[in-house]
Amino acid sequence: MKIADFELYKALLYERSGLVITPDKSYLLDSRLTPIAKKWGIPTLEALTLQIRALPDEKLIKDIVEAMTTNETSFFRDMKPFQIFQDNLLPVLSEKRKSKKTIRIWCAACSSGQEPYSLAMILKDREAQYKGWKFEIVATDIADSILEQARKASYSQFEVQRGLPIQNLMRYFTQIGDNWQLKDEIRSMVKFMNINLLESITRLGQFDIVFCRNVLIYFDEKTKSDILERIALQMEPDGFLFLGGAETVLGITNKFIPNAEKRGLYVKAGAAQLAAGGASPAAAQASGLASTRGNFGAPASSASPPAAATKPSDGSLNTTRPAGGSILTSGLFKRT
């Protein structure tokens, strides 16, 4: 691809989605836009570029943005965040929200829906335990085509084998032809909406837990910090944020503080002080260690102590902690 053409797509994608394409990722333009050209009856990628220069069609541009912003996903991707969700966050929040009996969860950039549906399955498994509770899962993405796919919740044999335990497949899916259809009892637990993270997100309301994993890596620093700060505004003071394993808030925003024991888990700055009667750091670490392995198929038989996943009450420990390296490589996450 010519440099001028690359610059054209780079500017277009940045303006429309905040996506930052670096020259080393220019192959993605080739591999993802060639099918778009085909779909529009345009013979080559070069011809597609010409058309965008000459008379940019809004719908064509939308297709291009969607093709470039679609991210890889799988059920229970990376597993650990889901274990933390079921073993630590659910017990903590069900204690804190026991008068309201409502927990709101947001999956930002949900792609084809595997992440919100994984959470829905965890909650469905615990239905009896949380009788009378209302769990709202809001899943958003920038791409209408992927949202449509997510709502449909029909997955290929390949997709249902990556990360999804066989018991969940048996319990929550119906085989239709070559595909596996997620049952309505799970589908109906997730509400999908089109949201561009660059635009206002206030209409989503307040959340207790936000999953925004492997999304920010595509943005530049300024956009990252803008998005994180606006996410912070949509979160309850004692809410939790998940970022991808390779992502960090360090040097980007001071609105969130990484949890020392759980990689990828963040609390809002100031939440440590809010947490009443938090466990000692040692107790929190011990309980975290004890609960890192779980079985998604079976309902939780024992709940972790309420303070397990909250920050140690000693706020100064967190704010004076040096660079991310030490947090990210904390002993808990080393392979045994």
Length of the chain: 336
Phi and psi angles of residue 144, each rounded to the nearest 5 degrees, phi first: -60, -40
Q: Which positions ≥6 away from 180 have C-beta within 8 Å?
A: 154, 155, 156, 157, 159, 160, 169, 173, 174
283 binds other proteins (CB under 8 A): no
Report how many residues bind other proteins under the rule CB under 8 A: 20
Q: Which positions ≥6 away from 201 have C-beta within 8 Å?
A: 195, 230, 231, 234
Q: What burial class does residue 268 get, using C-beta atoms within 10 Å of its C-beta: 0-12 exposed, 13-18 middle, 19+ buried?
A: buried
In the complex with other proteins, the residue whose CB is nearer, 316 or 336, is: 336
175 binds other proteins (CB under 8 A): yes
Q: Which of 8, 28, 34, 165 binds other proteins (CB under 8 A)?
A: 165
In the complex with other proteins, the residue whose CB is nearer, 71 or 161, is: 161
The CA-CA-CA angle for residues 149, 151, 153, to 5°, reads 70
Q: Which of residues 245-264 bind other proteins (CB under 8 A)?
A: 245
The interface mask with other proteins, positions 305-334, x = CB under 8 A, is ------------------------------
Q: Which of 54, 55, 128, 170 binds other proteins (CB under 8 A)?
A: 170
The CA-CA-CA angle for residues 93, 335, 117, to 5°, reads 40
301 binds other proteins (CB under 8 A): no
The least distance separating other proteins from the CB of residue 166, rounded to whole angstroms, comes to: 5
152 binds other proteins (CB under 8 A): no
Q: Which stretch binds other proteins (CB under 8 A): 22-30, 167-175, 188-196, 216-224?
A: 167-175
Kind and range of the H or E run holding 326: helix 324-328
- CA–CA distance, 3 with 6 (Å, rounded to integer): 5
59 binds other proteins (CB under 8 A): no
- Provide the 10 A C-beta neighbour count for residue 256: 24
Q: Which of 3, 293, 314, 325 binds other proteins (CB under 8 A)?
A: 293
Residues that bind other proteins (CB under 8 A): 74, 78-80, 157-158, 161-163, 165-167, 169-170, 175, 245, 293, 296, 335-336
